Amino acid sequence: MTTAAPAVSLADRTAYEAAVDTALAASTAYYGDGNSALDDPSYDALARAIAEYERAHPDHMRADSPTGKVGGGAAPVGDVAHTVPMLSLDNVFSAEELVKWGASLSRRIGRLVEGGYVPEPKFDGMAVAARYRTGRLDRVVGRGDGHYGEDLSHVIGSIVGLPERLAVDATVEIRGEVLLTREQFEKANEIRIAHKAKPFSNPRNGTAGTLRAKDRPYVIETTFFAYGAVGLDGVDFLRGATHEAVMAQVEALGVQTAASSAVGLRVYATLQEVQAWIEEIQRLRADLPFGIDGVVVKANDFSVQNAAGFGTRHPHWATAYKLPPMQGQTRLLAVEWNVGKTGKIAPRAVLEPVELDGSTVRYATLNNPRFIRELGVQIGDTVVVSKAGDVIPRIESVVVDKRTGEETAVVFPEACPQCGGAVDTSGERWECAEGVNGNCGLLPALKYAVGRDQLDIEGLGGTYLETLVASGAVGDVADLFTLTHQQLAEATNSTRRADTLVQQIEQAKQKPLNRVFCALGIRCTGRTLSKEIARHFSTMDAIRAADVEALATVNKLAPANAPKVAAHLAALGPVIDKLAQAGVNMTEPEEPAKATSGPLTDAFVVVTGGMTGALAGRNRNEMNDLIKAAGGEPSASVSKKTTYLVAGENAGSKLAKAQQLGTKVLTEEEFAAMVADYLS
- Chain contacts with ligand IVH (rule: CB under 6 A): 87-89, 120, 122-123, 127, 143, 177, 227-228, 296, 315, 318, 320
Catalytic site positions = 122
CA 487 – CA 494 distance, rounded (Å): 10
**In terms of CB distance, is 40 or 622 closer to ligand IVH?**
40
**In terms of CB distance, is 41 or 228 closer to ligand IVH?**
228
**In terms of CB distance, is 76 or 315 closer to ligand IVH?**
315
Q: Which amino acid is at 111?
A: R
Rounded least distance, CB 170 to ligand IVH, Å:
21
Rounded least distance, CB 292 to ligand IVH, Å:
8
How is 469-525 classified by DSSP, letter by letter? HHTTS-SSGGGGGG--HHHHHHHHT-HHHHHHHHHHHHHHTTS-HHHHHHHTT-TT-
List helix spans (H) across 35-162: 40-56, 95-109
Rounded least distance, CB 235 to ligand IVH, Å:
21
Please tell me the total number of residues recorded for the chain in this structure.
680
Number of Cβ atoms within 10 Å of the Cβ of 79: 9
H or E element: which one contains 333? Answer: strand 327-339
Asked if 643 and 604 touch (Cβ cutoff 8 Å), the reply is yes
Asked if 143 and 211 touch (Cβ cutoff 8 Å), the reply is no
Angle, helices 40-56 vs 13-32, to 10°: value is: 140
- The conformation of residue 356, written as its DSSP 8-state character, comes to E
CA 592 – CA 628 distance, rounded (Å): 7
Number of Cβ atoms within 10 Å of the Cβ of 161: 18
**In terms of CB distance, is 261 or 525 closer to ligand IVH?**
261
CA 71 – CA 47 distance, rounded (Å): 11
Rounded least distance, CB 298 to ligand IVH, Å:
7
Nearest C-alpha neighbor of 50 from the set 15, 75, 74, 25: 15
Rounded least distance, CB 295 to ligand IVH, Å:
8
Rounded least distance, CB 11 to ligand IVH, Å:
28
Phi-psi domain of 110 (left: phi exceeds 0; alpha: psi -120 through 50; beta: other): left
SS3 of 263, please? coil
Q: Which amino acid is at 640?
A: K
CA 111 – CA 507 distance, rounded (Å): 68
Question: Residues 275, 658, 679, CA angle at the centre, nearest 5°?
Answer: 140
SS3 of 187, please? helix
**In terms of CB distance, is 149 or 228 closer to ligand IVH?**
228
- The conformation of residue 437, written as its DSSP 8-state character, comes to G
Rounded least distance, CB 177 to ligand IVH, Å:
5
**In terms of CB distance, is 246 or 296 closer to ligand IVH?**
296
SS3 of 370, please? helix
**In terms of CB distance, is 281 or 655 closer to ligand IVH?**
281
Those residues with Cβ within 8 angstroms of residue 340's Cβ, 6 or more apart along the chain or in another chain: 346, 441, 444
The partner residues of 543 in beta bridges, in order of sequence, read none
**In terms of CB distance, is 85 or 421 closer to ligand IVH?**
85
Rounded least distance, CB 84 to ligand IVH, Å:
9
Rounded least distance, CB 388 to ligand IVH, Å:
19
**In terms of CB distance, is 231 or 315 closer to ligand IVH?**
315
Give the residue nearest to ligand IVH (CB). 127
The partner residues of 330 in beta bridges, in order of sequence, read 383
Radius of gyration of the chain (CA): 29
